[in-house]
Amino acid sequence: MDNQSNIARLEDLAKNSPVPLVREQAQKELEKLASIGSVQVQSANAGVTGLDPEVQAVLDALNMAVQGGGVANLNDIRQVVIDELAKRKINFNDLSDSLKALLNSTRKVELTIRNIASVKTTTTTNNDFLTRPIIQKILSDMQAENNVYLYGGAGTGKTFSAGGIAKILGWSIITINCNQFTSPIDIIGGQTIDGYQEGKFTMAWSNEIIDDNGNMTKVDGCVLLLDELPKIDPNTAGLLNEGLAKIKEYDFDPNTGQKLPPSILNGRGERKYKGNVFIMAAGNVPLNTIDPDYEANFKQDLSLQDRFIGSTYKVFVDYGYEFGSIMKGFAFIWIFGTKLREAIIRLNATNQAFVSIRLMQNLKSTYEVYRIEKEKLEKGVATVITNPKTLIDSLNTFFELFKPSTRQALIAELDIDAFKRIVAEKDKMPYDPSAPNFNTQQEVDEANQMIANYEATQLTRVI
């Protein structure tokens, strides 16, 4: 075996070995050889103590193979490592921190829906979302067949949470947008000029969805979201009460002992039996109150509040989840967006516009598209987008939603020029579409401090 072959093998191991310690030791060997001008392979564990026994075995086997000339090519060397590693079972704690984080980022979830025979659902979901305390409570309520009501300020993630729950369950989500004009037809169905229209409540209840072509489709389950529930007319809300109250009213066949699902009537008087349905509602205030900051809110009857009793949660923005999951790698956008959100709240301007999870996502996506299209233009690649929308363009359209006086106050407080300089610096950073990361350590530290300060003020924080 010639000297050059030894060096080539070590160089390959230093760059490509799947075992970090092997890479490290191979690099050390190369440095030693360079310092003494020798091709003699040194002990693979020179200067290293306290190694895991199995890792030590890999290093010893590798060193013996190289020194003894018992391998003919790089594939043989790799095989030595594979053979040694195959002798042991690698567990989670053996993995690097980066690989642990990757494996933890998603989780396959299997849920058996309680009280509905033989129904299982398996899905892969974001682990950061799944483990949030509010999501754990909601999933517990789902299993217990409790109706859930989420209330809180605009942009706190109420509807976002409902969508995430539907994704975890693998069910369809049906939304009734509640307001003073919501009609019985919207809820239980009824006759229209175009014919009979099925109600969204009864569709979700029976898992029978009418598609855009007018065809009825049976689905595995439904999450029914009653969005902005405090804005529904109290008289119309009475139509919801029956279904909400019957969610657990199972009967049993006296002859067979079989559980019989509860039922409701649709607008035709047809009986609809309950399938896999989970009812969530969202609003800006508790159901039995009126908030002057929100227009068209009605104080609902206490019986409607009782339908969600014990499962009513005040929702706050989850800074940690936003930064660590939704805006991962984009700290500069999250920091500015969060400061913008807090400024809007201080100015009591949330009735004009607000910073939501959706806005954060849109800003991130806009910047990603800008970087992709900008790179194409720089490389001379043909593209239909010759003047891609910028992050500042997006923010300008958002600021236009505010009254002139509010807009001026926000721009002055946030120092838009400073943010423009930050964006210009980010434009110079490399962009990896598969794992974008524009974070600096200073930004990560600032974001973590913002999260800590925010959480310290949320003494009743539940999300």
DSSP string covering 286-353, please? -TT---TTSTT-----HHHHHTTTT-EEE----HHHIIIIITTT-HHHHHHHHHHHHHHHHTT-TTT-
> Tokens 């018992």 correspond to what residue?
70
Residue 450 has pLDDT above 80, yes or no: yes
Bridge partner list, 151: 283, 314
Query: Using alpha carbons only, how large is the chain's radius of gyration in Å?
Result: 30
Residue range 303-326: mean pLDDT, rounded: 89
**pLDDT surpassing 70 at residue 385:** yes
Q: What is the pLDDT, as a whole number, of residue 461?
A: 44
Instruction: Write out pLDDT tens, residues 2-45.
Output: 556 666 777 777 777 666 666 777 777 766 666 544 433 333 34
Residue 432 near residue 371 (C-beta atoms within 8 A): no
- Choose the CATH number for 108-314 among 3.10.20.600, 3.30.390.30, 3.40.50.300, 3.40.630.30: 3.40.50.300
Per the structure block, which two tokens stand in for 16? 């490509």
The confidence score (pLDDT) of residue 149 equals 94
User: What band does 305 get if pLDDT is binned at 50, 70 and 90?
Assistant: confident
Measuring CA to CA, how many Å separate 222 from each of 141, 161, 313, 330? 15, 15, 21, 34
Helix axes 74-85, 3-16, angle to 10 degrees: 50
Looking at residue 234, its pLDDT comes to: 84
Rounded Cα–Cα distance for residues 257 and 321 (Å)? 46
pLDDT at 146: 93
CA dist 205 → 56, 87, 220 (Å) = 61, 54, 11
Alpha-helical regions (H) of 170-281: 184-188, 200-206, 234-245
Q: Which residues partner with 112 through β-bridges?
A: 120
Integer Cα distance of 342 and 348 in angstroms: 10
Amino acid 252: pLDDT? 82
With 0-12 / 13-18 / 19 or more C-beta atoms within 10 angstroms meaning exposed / middle / buried, residue 64 is middle
pLDDT value, residue 84: 57
Burial group, residue 204, by CB count within 10 angstroms (0-12, 13-18, 19+):
buried
What is the chain's length?
463
pLDDT of residue 82: 60
Chain-centroid distance of CA 360 in Å reads 12
- pTM of the predicted model, to two decimals? 0.67
**Which SS3 state, helix, strand or coil, does residue 178 take?**
coil
Most confident of 16-30, 234-248, 291-305, 396-410: 396-410
Q: Which of 103, 108, 75 is nearest to 91 (CA)?
A: 103
Structure token digits, residue 124:
């892969």
Percent of the chain with pLDDT over 90: 37
Work out the average pLDDT over 272-300. 80
| Domain residue ranges of the chain, discontinuous segments joined by + | 3-93, 108-314, 325-457
Q: 124: pLDDT confidence band, cut at 50, 70 and 90?
A: low
Residue 407: strand, helix, or coil: helix
Most confident of 9-18, 280-289, 293-302, 400-409: 400-409
User: pLDDT digits over 45-100, tens only?
Assistant: 444 444 455 555 656 666 665 555 555 555 565 566 566 555 555 554 555 554 44
DSSP symbols for 72-119: -SHHHHHHHHHHHHTTS---GGGS-HHHHHHHHHEEEEEEEPTTSTT-
What is the chain's mean pLDDT, rounded?
80
Burial 136-173 (b: 16+ CB within 10 A, else e): ebbbebbeebbbbbbbbbbbbbbbbbbebbbbbbbbbb
The pLDDT value recorded for residue 33 is 62
Is residue 335 predicted with pLDDT exceeding 90?
Answer: yes
- Count how many Cα atoms sit within 13 Å of the Cα of residue 172 in the half-sphere of its side chain: 21
The residue with greater pLDDT, 11 or 232, is 232
Burial 13-51 (b: 16+ CB within 10 A, else e): bbeebebebbeebbebbeeebeeeeeeebbebeeeeeee
Residue 101, pLDDT score:
53
Instruction: Give the per-residue pLDDT at 17.
Output: 66
Ranges 127-136, 177-186, 315-324, 393-402, most confident: 393-402
